[in-house]
Structure 1
Amino acid sequence: MSEAGIFGQILDPASRANPYPLYAELRKTPVARQADGTYVVSTYDEIVALLHDPRVSSDPRNHPELADKPLEEGPPGIPFEFIRHDPPVHDRLRELAMRPFGPPCTPGRIEGMRPWLTEITNGLIDNLVGKNRVDIVEGFAYLLPVTAICKVLGVPRTDEPRFHVWADALIVTIDPTTGTFEQRTCRRQQVLAEMGEYLNGLAEADARQPGDDLISGLVTDTGPHAPMSRGDLLSTCGLLLVAGHETTVNLITNGMLTLLRHPDVLDRLRREPGLITRLVEELLRYEPPVQMLTNRATLADIDIAGTTIPAGSPLALMLAAGSRDPKRFADPDRFAPDRTDNQHLGFGGGIHICFGAPLARVEARVALPALAQRLVNPRLVTDPPPYRPNPVLRGPRHLPVEIDAIVPTAVAGRQPMSPVLHSPT
């Protein structure tokens, strides 16, 4: 089987439920050129090297499809998000975005949300009382992250249906199977422009009467390199509004699915809540919500793993394949929450490492123990569940689970739960 054929199968929605055997085949050729000129990189050391290589660009204007074409950063005047810039622009905008968001500039902000997140989590689980079958995605995993990112940004929760449509549209633009790179980039800018009009209204209101949310922090920042331009502020907030909840939906859902497939670990989490920190890191390695990065291009010739990747070549960095590379991780296809040496690629790496990682970690560390404690005898209705078609952001579209009951909040965590049954296959 050719490497090109393997990558094509990975992109095929029919492979979404279990792409990992295909990743193993792909790793046999660490750097594989595709028919369209894309170089697919699938082994851990090579991916890490490229994530840290300044000769790799995240700017869409350096992609070969756009290199000879003028591309406006609008319309209307909405620049690319900071993750789609290279240094020094990226570094300046990321620093400005980070200051009101969390560590290292505001170290207590995200961790300080834990009590509030716990309250929201238990409220969502309370809403499941009386049901014997629940969809973990629609009834919980989507609602928690979207509520959290609305709070962080200062977006009214009642406006969520508006940006849910925008989120769906933006997610399509990172799917390499949907049109050309140029078409996806132009569509992405159009969606961001639509979101920008809405977010600009919030920014205007926060400029007049600032709150303690991130938009207010960006508008009123007077520190070094401030203020962020209004266009950059809008594209940054648009990015966070979407990425700040879509990937975490998959993290929570993939996590619950993995626990249901490993009932011994689920039962152990009930008895050992402290397990959750390492467990979440192992989930990010074993079933990451972001499977690959397909928006990078080379600025110069790069020699790696015996292959020269020419300047101007598009790259596909297969993060999920790298995180199961047996040359880096012992027994990589085993879910091992006690794993200690776990420098996974679940949040990428290098200067573009996931901006929202601190919030995603806290949300998963709150959500999964609460589900483990309060759902009595949960078992999968179907395995595998139906998956979303997107090969980049991989997660179930629905996760139907049968349960016997919901443990009251006041009781959860104080007494042992009934054992978990093995899920059907």
Structure 2
Amino acid sequence: MNNYEVRKLFPILDQEVNGHPLVYLDSAATSQKPVQVIEVLDEYYREYNSNVHRGVHTLGTRATDRYEAAREKVRKFINASSIEEIIFTRGTTTALNTVAVSYGMENLKEDDEIVISYMEHHSNIIPWQQLAKRTGAKLKYIPLLEDGSISLEDARETITPKTKIVSIMYVSNVLGVINPIKDLAAIAHENGAVMVVDGAQAAPHMQVDVRDLNCDFFAFSGHKMCGPTGIGVLYGKREHLEKMEPIEFGGEMIDFVGLQESTWKELPWKFEAGTPIIAGAIGLGAAIDFLEKIGTDNILEHEHRLAAYALEKMSSIEGLTIYGPKEAEKRAGVITFNLEDVHPHDVATVLDSEGIAIRAGHHCAQPLMKWLNVSSTARASFYLYNTEQDIDMLVDGLVKTKEYFTNVF
């Protein structure tokens, strides 16, 4: 299946925006959905909408089977050891907060250390800030090299025997940097710390093997990988999850409820209180089927090719600054940039008038913006449905944007 055949499977892309063919370059924020996922969601609500794990009637059994089948698809997709290690959440943010509260509050004390980096998304900063405040632990940052990447030497200097948690994003949503998670996990474990991975920008774009990475926790979201919004995954090693307490309580997660005491279900259901995100999980399962048919290696290769093409074309625009590694193979399909003397929001607005959707702002990474010495940036992010023609239209749009503001001002 070539790229143009893949593109036809995404109905939303077949439209005009502001009189121009849609060029969607904001997949790092959320990906578009193929018809296979849309049809599965429609089928659930039309044919077997029912709660799971509770009823013995036909619809309930069918919904339960599909919901748990999706869990097994996730397990295989990231190569976890068992379904007990796969917890469905509302997204990456919820998953990371679960680790910070459930694991962190029980395992950290005053003067312990939590290590993250300057490139982290706010979802991988604020939970650790709050954990540090509540426990008296110290939050430390691994410095970045000039191109925004992390050196293992700096990691070894920052992570110490006092470090109890290291939490790093696999792929930067701003710089596109692919971090050496396996090596960072080894350093964390050498110092007695657990390795937490924000995999939101990795799971959609590359093969993930949590056992090979040897991470302790891995979090990602469905909506960035062709799945529905509102569904995510927390992977945790069973040895940790069994010792952790739930942070939400109610139906679905209980075994026995007495007047004064209650007990919990076994893994993974003790962490899934209330009616779960049934349609979302089933839709995520369909998205995984779709991505595996395309091939994660093929997706990453395609993004590297697009990134190389975009870096070459965009570098020819005078006054345009690109952030992050200059080598396409060192980054995922994300190009963050600024156009001299033009605010990123103005860049995005002009491009939108040409039907080109990009992101502008701080990208939920204000500490990184400060490190870059900017208040905001523009970002174009690519996925399996994008083409070189999309890049050409982006470059043409940027040239028009520059000409417009040069002539106006």
Same fold (TM over 0.5): no
Higher relative contact order (CA 8 A, sep 6+): 1
- TM-score between both structures, scaled by the size of structure 1: 0.28
